[in-house]
Amino acid sequence: MVIERGAIHWADLGPAAGSRPATRRPVLIIQADADDASRPSTVLTAVITSNTALAAVPGNVFLPAAATGLSRDSAVDVTALATLDRGDLDDVADDVAGHVPAALMQDVDRGLRRVLGL
């Protein structure tokens, strides 16, 4: 499976633990494409939620369904980063939920820089 920065995949995050998001949900691939070329067994993601109220949290990004291919408006939670095994991503073509346009990825990048202090 090719992993591409800005792609939205469905992933199994397993059971909830503390404040960690759980269940099967969309995640945004945030690792650099060059890192994927080396075929690591893991992939760095940011969790996507349908709770659009979280888009108001500084750094988080609102994702309109019409721009991403998701079935509903959502938000990227830049504080909910997850390093996943590639096997946690659904590799069925129908389960690739969509892509985040470049302009919104720039907003995600700003949010990541903010939360990571970069």
Mean pLDDT computed over 29-41: 76
Q: To the nearest 10°, report the CA torsion of 108, 58, 44, 24.
A: -100
Q: What is the pLDDT of residue 25?
A: 87
Options 3.30.70.520, 3.40.50.1820, 2.30.30.110, 2.120.10.30; which CATH number does 7-116 get?
2.30.30.110
Q: Given its phi and psi angles, is residue 99 left (phi above 0), alpha (psi -120 to 50 degrees) or beta?
A: beta
Written as one letter, the residue type at 56 is: A
From CA 27, how far away is CA 2, in angstroms rounded?
Answer: 15
pLDDT band at 103 (very low <50, low <70, confident <90, very high): very high
Q: What is the pLDDT of residues 40-50, one digit of tens each?
A: 788 899 999 99
Domains of the chain: which residue ranges?
Answer: 7-116
Q: What is the pLDDT of residues 42-100, one digit of tens each?
A: 889 999 999 999 999 999 999 999 999 999 999 999 999 988 888 777 765 555 779 99
Q: Given its phi and psi angles, is residue 50 left (phi above 0), alpha (psi -120 to 50 degrees) or beta?
A: alpha
Greatest mean pLDDT range, 9-13, 96-100, 103-107? 103-107
